[in-house]
Structure 1
Amino acid sequence: MKKLIALIPGLALAACSSSPEATTAPDEGAAGVVMRPAPGVDIDRSAAPGQVVDQDGRPGWYPHEGALMEYSVDIRFGQEPHTMPDGWSFGRVSAVATDSGGDVYVFHRGDVADPIVVFNAAGTYQRSFGADMDFGNEHGLRIDRHDNVWVTDNGNHRVMKLSKEGEVLMSLGIKGEAGTTDETFDRPADIAFGPNDELYVADGYGNSRVVKYDAEGNFVTTWGTPGSGPGEFDLVHSVAVDSTGRVYASDRENNRIQIFDADGTLLDTWNHLGATQNIFITPDDQVWVITHRDNVENITYDTLAGRIMHVDINTGEIIGAMESPGHWIDVAETGDIFIGSLTGNVFRWYEDWMETEEAAQAERP
């Protein structure tokens, strides 16, 4: 069994759902809430969740084969005994990522703490940086296989490559200038890395396209235009790449994930996962998403629970799911799953189930 733990608090976990098969999330510190499994039925994956209406008239989820998972909630990083510098607190947590050593990087929108705050795996504050980078709107953060830190500055139309200590190594886009050229972005949302360190940018809110660069930051190609047809986008909110080089783009407002080859040829579309906020694919091609039923839930800033879903990469079938608010997802090399929420929290999902919080504390590093 598996366990979800809330790590970095700003607010208590707020979760609710009108989906008839789901339970609400537990209070902080609650143990072992069992969520009822959804019935195992065949799914029409060409249809969108928004086409199903629940008892309250809201778009509903299709039943799926994967069981809903057990979890409990605890709060860690950012509070005693794992404090940040005096007076610091988080604003909206837009992204979270982990490096090869297990350090946890939090990217948030707030005026008190530095924009990027780093903890070790035990939850101890390590360092912070980014206050001098003049971010317009903190959005995405990813860490590549060389432990470089990449961020999307959504408000200033930039993608930046940083060292683990916060040194700027590369900057793409022109600060403060939105555009559609090879050298400009319009509110980029996410970044992903190909097998040969290629860079894919979800250029996202304004341009509705994916932009590809080589490892040195040279423009290679771009694809996508505004719309709802095949290969078109209505807000590319996330992008991920599997071990074969296929590119998975969250077409959030069209309630789908479109899958492309490395050159932008459309290969497949998943229409059954809702308005996907974020996608993460592990090196062994485990697909995880954080998603909501539609964009009405997205724009509530995560106060309504979406779902974390584990998805089969070959079929798109949902292997398992559970309720959680969330904007960003990352899976550490240990298998722990981190969710960054605009409520000001980071939730950590431990693979090994602990019957009590005391047992969980004893097992933590």
Structure 2
Amino acid sequence: MKTLFKLVLASVSIITIFSSCSNINTEAIETENSFDSLKSTNFKVDAFWPKQLPNSWILGEVPGLSIDKHDHIWILQRPNSLDGRELGASSGEKDCCAPAPSVIEFDTEGNLVNAWNIFESEGSADPDQLWAGKEHGIYIDADDFVWIADAKGHTVLKLTKEGKQLLQIGKSGQTNGSNDTLLLGGPADVAVDIEANEVFVADGYVNRRVIVFDSETGAYKRHWGAYGEAPHDNELPLRSAGDEPIHSFRTAVHAVTISNEGNVYVADRSNNRIQVFKKDGTFVRETFIANDGGSGSIWDIEFSRDPAQSYVYVPDGANMKVWVLDHKTLEVINSFGFGGRNSGQFGWVHSLVVDSKGTIYTSEVNPGKRVQKFLPVSEDELSN
């Protein structure tokens, strides 16, 4: 009887030990294989986003993209980039199509939330223009104000979410070089530091600088060029592979964004480089991506949504893909997308934002004229 009891007790002990070991191993495996969507380097397209627009609306070129604190995606598109073939409904000759308003707000499911026009949108594309319409960059700040960069009119506008203008920086149609403190020169993008009440402008298509203003009053604060030096407007040498980096931004200073660590990241598009600064303009570091020899590889800059912002996402319209960089080293570790017209492929991919779940949204100018949604996936999901 004692022997039987000992055998039963020993069996129970072995089972308990085995069960505990199994639980430990399972937890280790689960931890090792867990997927964090906020730190993804792989993505697959959601081909059904956004939903069809009402009123026979169609998008033109979409240069601007932003996301607000409610996870709503805002686009800035160019109605004037649509040609006569695309505007049949406007003349009453066809069912399709009519130009959508220049500012459109979507939720993450692709439903239209709000839409309004910011600039005059009559007429159609002029093939002799670099681009049609004044729309370029859009940014929604933490207080839900809408900022628009008007690269052709040389102004930055601050508006309510309903489109009421509150502030204008710069004077329409006027520019005076990269060291003028009142006038802008082709502003392409903005970023707002709410705590400091400052707006940073990538200024941009005519000038070669970052310039900072008070976001409440529009008063000038400071500006700088490449490497934190004073900008200039002198003629620049032609760019060739292997050349030493020049101490000037080129056209265009295309995007600006502020990281959680408080640094300012600037897209020096035609120099194929990202330059990083402190908020006072002190140069920190730089990296180069894909010497394309043409229109440049750095079109926008965004970060993954984990607290450390582990990855940097860089849309590249010239090479028609999105680069994924390690934030610590600024080295390329992956890319997604390829040139083409199918879902998940790109034309001139222009802007990119990331929502709170790690989902990426992209916008395209010619030839795509669209926005796309990319879901974060693990490597296993990507291969299936």
Q: TM-score, with normalisation over the residues of structure 2?
A: 0.65
* Per-residue deviation, 1:169: 1.8
Counterpart in 2 of 1:39?
A: none
Match of 1:95 among 42, 50, 64: 64
2-structure distance, mates of 1:347, 1:247: 26
Structure 2: gaps spanning 5 or more residues: 1-39, 81-98, 122-131, 226-230, 238-244, 292-296, 338-344
Match of 1:104 among 69, 73, 82: 73
Counterpart in 2 of 1:276?
A: 298
Structure 1: gaps spanning 5 or more residues: 1-66, 299-304, 357-365
Structure holding more helix per residue: 2
Q: 1:161 to 1:271 in 2, by over 3 A?
A: same
Q: Secondary structure at the match of 2:248?
A: coil
Q: Secondary structure at the match of 2:105?
A: strand
Tell me if the contact between 2:264 and 2:279 (Cα under 8 Å) persists in the aligned partners.
yes
Q: Secondary structure at the match of 1:277?
A: coil
Instruction: String of CA shifts for 1:220-247, please: whole Å, max 9, x gaps.
Output: 1111125585652002111111123211
Counterpart in 2 of 1:318?
A: 332
Tell me if the contact between 1:242 and 1:285 (Cα under 8 Å) persists in the aligned partners.
no
Counterpart in 1 of 2:361?
A: 338
Counterpart in 2 of 1:76?
A: 49
Q: Secondary structure at the match of 1:71?
A: strand
1:222 aligns with 2:223: yes
Q: 1:285 to 1:143 in 2, by over 3 A?
A: farther
* Per-residue deviation, 1:349: 1.5
Counterpart in 2 of 1:232?
A: 248
Counterpart in 2 of 1:114?
A: 101
% identical equivalent positions:
28
1-structure distance, mates of 2:105, 2:45: 24
**The 10-residue stretch of structure 1 (334-343 or 307-316) with the greater mean CA deviation from structure 2:** 307-316
Q: Secondary structure at the match of 1:253?
A: helix
Counterpart in 2 of 1:247?
A: 264
Please identify the structure whose Cα radius of gyration is greater.
2
Tell me if the contact between 2:199 and 2:213 (Cα under 8 Å) persists in the aligned partners.
yes
1:1-365 → structure 2 map (5 Å cutoff): 69=42, 71-77=44-50, 82-111=51-80, 112-131=99-118, 136-180=133-177, 181-194=180-193, 196-216=196-216, 217-224=218-225, 225=231, 226=233, 227=236, 229=245, 231-234=247-250, 235-272=252-289, 275-281=297-303, 284-286=307-309, 287-292=311-316, 298=318, 306-323=320-337, 324-325=345-346, 326-342=349-365, 343-352=368-377
**Structure with more contact order per residue of length (Cα contacts < 8 Å, sep ≥ 6):** 1
When the two structures are aligned, how many residues end up with a matched partner? 277
Matched to 1:290, the amino acid is: V
Matched to 2:183, the amino acid is: T
**RMSD, aligned α-carbons:** 2.8
Instruction: String of CA shifts for 1:287-333, please: whole Å, max 9, x gaps.
Output: 433343xxxx63xxxxxx52222322221123432125310011112
2-structure distance, mates of 1:191, 1:243: 16
1-structure distance, mates of 2:356, 2:148: 20
* Per-residue deviation, 1:71: 2.2
Q: TM-score, with normalisation over the residues of structure 1?
A: 0.69
2-structure distance, mates of 1:311, 1:146: 29
